[in-house]
Amino acid sequence: MKVKSWIGGMALVLLVATAPMGCKSETEKKAENVQDAYKDVVDAREEGDPDVAKKQAELDTARQEYRDLAKDTLR
């Protein structure tokens, strides 16, 4: 009986720990895309990558998508 209780408790802990990770909102996802794109631009500049303009355009697109989504969610 103790084993079943222990397994049930561990399953509950696992469920509670992983549930918030799967429930990200669209704005949080877009914000993470902006952060990732920004890091890509910074890394490209530091490395002297010739595709900095392309990465900057991707960052601008990600920022605009975030702004549009944030504006829509406020309505």
Binned at pLDDT 50, 70 and 90, residue 37 comes out as very high
Q: Is residue 66 part of a domain?
A: yes
Query: Does the global pTM surpass 0.75?
Result: no
**How far is Cα of residue 62 from the mean position of the Cα atoms in its chain?**
12
- Give me the domain span that covers residue 71: 24-75
Q: Is residue 4 part of a domain?
A: no
Q: Is residue 63 part of a domain?
A: yes
Q: Is residue 7 part of a domain?
A: no
- Rounded Cα–Cα distance for residues 17 and 52 (Å): 38
- Rounded Cα–Cα distance for residues 52 and 47 (Å): 10
User: 21 vs 44, which has greater pLDDT?
Assistant: 44
* Structural domains in the chain (count): 1
Q: Is residue 48 part of a domain?
A: yes
pLDDT at 17 over 70: no
Q: Is residue 56 part of a domain?
A: yes
